[in-house]
Amino acid sequence: MADSSGRARLFVVSGPSGAGKGTVVAGLLQHRPDVFLSVSSTTRPARRGEVDGVNYHFVSERDFIAGRDRGDFLETAEVYGNYYGTPRALVEAALREGRDVILELDIQGALAVKRALPESVLIFIEPPSLEELFSRLRGRRTEDPDALRRRVQAAYDEVKEKGAYDHIVVNDRIEDAIAQVIRIMDAPQERTPHPGS
């Protein structure tokens, strides 16, 4: 929902792969179809079942670098050897139209957006435990063992950084996690106290 000044707001959702970010965001959009979900560009190959233009814009490294040099991206990052970027024009247009925007980014992207737009709201989706995350990732069978190891290591690193986020949502039951994100989006700007802080 737009804030009290009527301005649309930018929300960044992060969390380790396997934490259920995508499912939480999809559930949220069913409740709030007015929200604009930005589709990133990436140079990583599409996984089975992923659709160009829906999950990502899958682009060549050459096109990505050309776009980056033109200033087409709000932020870019290199993750696991692939480039990712948030297309600037669509996000800015949605905000101008008064639509809240969600970006699904890694921590580098979240921090870059916060630096550029301090009023943006950062939400970290955390798995109930790293053991649970590991078993979800293994069950997904989309990664070879090396990539799986890298993602689990990255998950440990990301969870260590969660203190940088305005809100932390533990995705134990998906419906609860979605409800919590909706509350955050509908509330005026404030931080949810972090567990243990």
Site residues, ligand 5GP (CB under 6 A): 17, 40, 44, 75, 77, 79, 84-86, 104-106, 108-109
Shortest separation between residue 5's beta carbon and ligand 5GP, angstroms: 27
132: left (phi over 0), alpha (psi -120 to 50) or beta: alpha
Nearer Cβ to ligand 5GP (6/141): 141
Shortest separation between residue 14's beta carbon and ligand 5GP, angstroms: 6
3-state class percentages of the chain: helix first, strand second, coil last, to nearest 5:
40, 20, 40
Nearer Cβ to ligand 5GP (105/148): 105
Shortest separation between residue 13's beta carbon and ligand 5GP, angstroms: 8
Distance (Å, rounded) from C-alpha 127 to C-alpha 116? 28
Shortest separation between residue 126's beta carbon and ligand 5GP, angstroms: 13
Nearer Cβ to ligand 5GP (84/124): 84
Are 28 and 35 in contact by the 8 Å Cβ rule? The answer is yes
Count CB neighbours of 53 within 10 A. 8
